Each structure stands twice: as structure tokens, then as C-alpha cells.
Chain A
Amino acid sequence: MKRNIVYLIFFALLLIGSSCDKKRDRFFEDNPTERLNTAVDEAFNILKSQKNGWTMQYFPSSDLEYGGYNLFVNFRTDENVEFQADYIPYLIEPDYSTQSSTYKVYPGAGPILTFDTWNEIMHFFALPGAYTGEGAVDSGTQGDFEFLVIKATADSVILQGRKTLNRIVMLPIKSTPATFIEKMQKNAAKFDSFEDYMVEVGGETYDAYFISDLKRAFVFDDPEDENIYSYVYTETGLEFYKEFSIKGVKVKKMTYVNPTTGYPNGYFENPEKTVKYIPVG
């Protein structure tokens, strides 16, 4: 009995001791909800603020095997968005047309940007393979159409795909959109038209193999190297999804060099001029 009383007192002391935790100082001035609502408003306003629209460097699938695409996005009103792209989805008429639909920014784990009515350019990558002939019949190219806004400034918007967790970068279009977009589309059509590419690095030449007929992502026939080198075209060349080590050389961006006698289709080259990515035919 005595022991029980000792236990009881001990327990009571514990309770008293722990029950009055003081409120900790706040790290931020506003409460989390206010900060989230502010972040949503800010992201919404930044997206709408670029009258020329944005270039979205979009990568479907967390494995990146379908490559990267430039989607030209213009948030025209509070509700409506227009898409163009440097690729042609299978059903689209006419080629390279502008497709309109709706969008919304709403609070979730942060501001969430969703493209919430059908837009062939955006949702092509989210369709099951039964529709597109790409990827598995039920999952297709596994692209996102809902994104967490990680950062939103006038210079760039960083998104994260909600399913793939892929990092998607949006950059403002600085020059005349029609001219810029046409140039990007022509570049992409030219580079996509080649079936075979090679890589020159360290005095050696390697065949690069596309994984899907959407191209824009290659692998080497090398059991030691399981990288999927996924890239998106830029105004001057191409940019990989992340910095890759290609046969020991770190590469993120490449510039396109016009055809020469030795390279009749031209080639892409890193700034250090140590790696070439060469369209062969």
C-alpha cells in the first residue's frame, strides 16, 4: 500500500511537472495558415504577371525515360491558361496550335498549381498508354498536371510534380513570344528528326540509345551506367534534367554548333568542349 502511495505521488509529480509547457517563441511573425494563404496569393500573382508567358521545362515520369519538353504557358486570366509546346501530341489539330483550358492555385502542402480541365498539350503526358501508345496501357508516360510551387519569383518559378516529385522549372519568355516559340519548335523538330545519336568524350565514341520514340532521353549500352540522360531543348542547345556525369565528365548544359565538314548535322557541346552529343542520321 505504501509503495502504491509512493507511485501515486511520483505520478502526480510527473503530471504537475509536465503540464505547464510554456509557449515557445514563434519562428515566423504570422501563423502558418496566414503564411500559406499569402504564399498561394503570391504564386498566383507571379504566374499571371508575365504577360509574355513562361517556358515550362517539363519532364514526365520519375524515371525521366520520356525526356523533357518545353511547354509555353500563358496564364491569361484568373481562370484561363493557354499552352503551346515544342512537340506535337498525337491527336492535335492543327500542328503546334494553341490549346486553352483552366488552372487554379490552391493551398495544400504549399501552394498547389493544378491544370484542372483537359488541355491536350499538358495532359497528353498524364494519359494512360491506351490513349497514347506510350508506356504501359494503364499508366502511360506518368506525367504530372498538379504541382507544388516550391518557389515563385518574377525570374523563375520552381515546381515539383505531385506524383513524380520531378523538379520543373518555369522561366519567363523575354522576347516576342510568337518568334521565340516558333524558333524553339523548329529547333525541336530538327533535332527530333534524327534517329541516331552518338557521344564523343575522352577520345572515345559511344552510341546513344533512345528509350522511347518520344526521344529526348538516351542511355548507353553499358551495364555499369544506368543513368537515363534526359534533356530538354533550350534556345541555344539543350539542358539535362540535372548535372550528369557522362563517362566521368560533369555536364548540365550544351550548346548547339552548326554543321561542319566532320559533323554534317552539327553537334551539341558542353562549355568546356569536352563532350559532344552528335546527331548522326
Chain B
Amino acid sequence: MMYLGVTSCSKEEKLDSNSVFVDPKIEQNDFDKYIFSNFTTPYNMEIIYKYVDRESDLDYNLVPAPFESSIRMTKLLNYLGLEPYNDLTGSKEFIRKYFPKLINYIGSLAIRNNGTVVLGTAENGTKMTLYNLLSLDEESGRDADFLTTYYFKTIHHEFQHILNQTKPYPSDFSAITGTTYVDDAWNTVYPENPTGRANAISAGYISPYASKAATEDFAELFSIYVTRDQAGWNSWINLPNASDAGKAIINKKLAIVKTYMKEQWNIDMDLLRTNIVGRMSKLDTFDQTTIK
């Protein structure tokens, strides 16, 4: 009797199969179509080039990316970020399976109140945010150093996180300088200036940020190595006042990263580097604007 009293008023109502909110129907523009056929179809990837508040980091004051820069970034992402892996693995399957599914473009840098900046972030291997598209134009789009510093080192760095979260790297990597990682103090212990960077290398860290934690160290070694030729790598580590002992540690760590990439993913990092650097040398003739 009590039971009946409690339940007697529930009516069955069917849920409406239509979404309650309807976005205005706007035809896909040529860029939308380009993204669909070159990213969504082959890689199941979405590129958000129009600012969406809920996809953006509300801790920062950000502005949308310029439409034209977004086209450049998208073509460059394919050219310098995805195709090298396709070439090395022989198909698009590797990128389709592991590369983040959501790429978010932002116009400005993410600037903290102390003036330091964020160049890129990745969340749980599913989403990557690229900042600073305001600086990407016809001139900077052909500048390999600029592209590496502001976008592609970050892209390869974040992608490496996803790879080693999928298949862990050997624990002896973390043990090499296991007691000297400095966590969030990395930019005060090793400031981003010639002395700070030389001190980082003397301590066995390829960059100040590598001293944060073993996972960052691993990703930094990978991304810095594959985005420059041997001469570029040499000048990166052979800083004045950087100790040979530190460089030896870095080379020991690098060997583990290379072995990991070869054994776990069948990717030869030297071939990957040659591929990426070869593409960079052709930036002058690479078409960054045609989307039809």
C-alpha cells in the first residue's frame, strides 16, 4: 500500500531523439571542407580554429586565431607534424590511433601575470592547444626556427607524452638523474637564459623544463632531437660553461629514448629527424594557403 502510494504517479514519457539546442545552420566554408577531408576523414581529428569558450583555458585572457594563420597552421601541422610519422610507419594508422583527436588554435600566447608564457598544452592525450597563431604569417611561416620554437617542438613534445603513456619507457631512464628533478621550481633553478640553460645541461638536462620531471625530460629529449639537424643539436648542447659530464648524461638518456622509439614503435629517431629537417628545408616552396 505504501509502495503503491509512492510510485503511482510516474508516467512514462519518451525522450525526444532530437538535440534540444540547434546550432544555426551555416554552410561549411572551404576551410571546413579541407579540414574534414584531410584531418577528420583520415585521422578522426577535429580542428577548432574558431574560438570556443569551453574549449579554451579560462585562466588566461585569450583571443581567437586569425583565419588565415589557421589555414597556414593546419597545412604546416600536416606537413611537419603528421606526415613525417606516416612516412616512417608506412601508413596513416599510427597518427590516427595515437595523435590527439582535438586540436584547438588560439591567437595570443597564454600570458601569466608574471609575464611568462605557455606555448602549448595537451590534455589526457586527447586534446592539444596551440597558442600564438597571431605571430604566424607569410614570413614566419617559412622560418623553420620560429616554427620549431613556437609550435613544432611543442607538438612533438606533447605527442611523445601520449606515446609513453601508452607504452611506458624503461624505468632506468628515470633513475639516471632521479634525485635531482626540481618539479615546479624548474624555471627558478634553471632560468631561461644562457647561464640557466648551461647549468641545466651541466646537470644532465637538455632544457630547463626537462628538469621538472622524468616524463618531461623524456619528451624534451625527443622533441628537441627530432626538430633539428646534428649541427643544431650540437650547438644546443655545446653551450659555453656546460660541463662534459652533463652532456654525457644527456647522451646516455638520449640513447634510451632512441631505443624506446625503435623497440616500442619501430620508429628510427634519426630517420624521423632527417625526414622533418628535410621538410623544413623546403618551406620556401611549401604552399601554406591553398585549401581547394
A40, B24: Cα distance in complex, Å = 8
Assess the A12–B66 pair: CB atoms within 8 A: no
Contact B53 A146 (CB under 8 A): yes
| Contact segment of A133-141, A228-236, A244-252 | A133-141
What residues of chain B lie closer than 8 Å to A140, measured between beta carbons?
61
Report the bound CA distance from A107 to B24 in whole Å.
9
Q: Tell me if B107 counts as interface (CB < 8 A to partner A).
A: yes
Within B28-71, which residues are at the interface with A (CB < 8 Å)?
A: 29, 49-53, 60-67, 69-70
B23 at the interface (CB under 8 A from A): yes
Q: How far is the CA of A104 from the CA of B20 in the complex (A)?
A: 18
Number of A-B contacts (CB under 8 A): 105
Contact between B64 and A117, CB atoms less than 8 A apart: yes
Name, among B27, B51, B62, B63, the residue most crowded by chain A CB atoms within 10 Å (CB to CB). Answer: B63
Q: What's the interface size class on A, roughly?
A: 35 or more
Asked if B5 is at the interface of the complex by the 8 Å CB criterion, the answer is yes
Q: How far is the CB of B20 from chain A (nearest CB, A)?
A: 4
Main secondary structure of the interface of B (DSSP, over half): loop
The reply to whether B2 and A12 contact each other, CB–CB distance below 8 Å, is yes
User: Quick check: B67 and A101 within 8 Å, CB to CB?
Assistant: yes
Q: Which residues of A contact B70 (CB under 8 A)?
A: 117
Known: A12-B5, A15-B5, A123-B107. A145 touches B50 (CB 8 A): no
Interface string of A94-124 (1 = CB under 8 A from B): 0000000110111100000011111000010
A123 contacts across to B, CB distance below 8 A: 63-64, 107
Chain B min CB distance to A167 (Å): 20
Contact A114 B51 (CB under 8 A): yes
Name A116's contact: one of B51, B61, B111, B115 (CB within 8 Å): B51
Measured CB to CB, the residues of A under 8 A from B are: 12, 15-16, 19-20, 33, 36-37, 40-41, 44, 78-79, 101-102, 104-107, 114-118, 123, 126-128, 130-131, 136-140, 142, 145-146, 162
Interface pairs (22), CB distance under 8 Å: A12-B5, A15-B5, A16-B6, A20-B9, A78-B24, A79-B26, A105-B24, A106-B24, A114-B53, A115-B64, A116-B51, A117-B66, A117-B70, A118-B63, A118-B64, A130-B115, A136-B113, A137-B115, A138-B60, A139-B113, A145-B63, A145-B64
